[in-house]
Structure 1
């Protein structure tokens, strides 16, 4: 009898309405790619099923309904109605970690809601993670940009950085440091909590742009009423509707951030190929 990393028994999934008892996931249950040449091992089938189950749980949760309401309100304030793309950074190992799996399921729910593409990057992705992401039509980015993903045009891009080091968010703000920020919707650790909980020295060293933009951010805290309280805690939705009142002097403060070494922040030089 085998037990997986989450403490669940590995079993065969039986269908009441079919003689096919292989436990294979069908297109009607979740948005997995079909006609793929890759064959699933039992373990991957198991993890795909767990991701689909997590998506179903998130989709029916009060937390997700609240997030949808906040996102639609934020888009309305930005005079827009849609998100054009989702970029995920720091999802972690979705094949092994329960937290990562539910956070990924959360993004899959948003993908369904807005009918958009997803791209993702995490320097700790394994080949197994990359294959799992591929089954859900997620594009895995090849380069560690350290959060420096610049938006183009006026289309809204949703960036999802769940429990990521503040340097990643800080870099994302820096690379879009202009009225370009109005195209960014950022779901990440609450800016208010970061600024409130960090010393002035830490803010200057690791989160200077978060601190500078805070007066111009509209933050929607994510109400953490999901059944697992450590998966979506401290996260918030951040939009930037007040940039028309920003002094031009603020945009002139635009030097590229440099950080002291931090074991949580994996730089481009530290990144390795998936194993």
Structure 2
């Protein structure tokens, strides 16, 4: 993907608590930096950033939104994840207000571009979308 988008891999960082030794070896070969600390998605985004977060708990989305709770930083966020509005539609409002207030407020403002579903696995990742704060 980096080659296709002309992104220098030295500027790419990745983190997942379940990376295997093979994953880490591959990232080393590709010169991709592996973040050492689990910050539970509390990363401040100083430049445009793709956050690949499919099938996460809504609290992780809350953490990335809260850490970037200002217009310029939110415009740096490109989220590949479950449709955020699905969390709003499938949870009681009182639960959302107490556990994920940023998600509750921002999800409707995000532009959502669904990714195509797989012909082989039509129910896997069927609500994965690229989401970002739109500029009107």
Q: TM-score range by the shorter chain?
A: 0.7 to 0.9
Structure 1 gaps, min length 5: 1-108, 245-275
Structure having greater relative contact order (Cα 8 Å, sep ≥ 6):
2
Equivalent position of 1:164 in the other structure: 56
Alpha-carbon distance between aligned partners in 2 of 1:115 and 1:235, rounded to the nearest angstrom = 24
Query: 1:209/1:133 Cα in 2 relative to 1: closer, same or farther (>3 Å)?
Result: same
Q: Take 1:193 and 1:131, find their aligned partners in 2: how far apart are those partners?
A: 36
**Residue 173 (structure 1) aligned to one of 65, 89, 93:** 65
CA displacement, residues 201-256 of structure 1 (integer Å, 9 cap, x when unaligned):
331343221111123211112231343335432111111125x8xxxxxxxxxxxx
Distance in 2 between residues matched to 1:215 and 1:229, nearest whole Å:
25
CA offset digits 1:164-198 (Å, max 9, x no partner): 22111110000000112011111111011111111
- Stretches of structure 2 that go unaligned for 5 or more consecutive residues are none
Alignment partners' CA distance in 1, 2:103 and 2:67: 12
> In the alignment, which residue of structure 2 is the partner of 1:224?
117
Q: Which runs of 4+ in 1 moved over 4 A?
A: none
CA distance in 1: counterparts of 2:36 and 2:119, whole angstroms = 32
RMSD over aligned CA atoms reads 2.0
The aligned counterpart of 1:211 is 104
**Structure number with higher strand proportion:** 2
TM-score by length of 1: 0.44
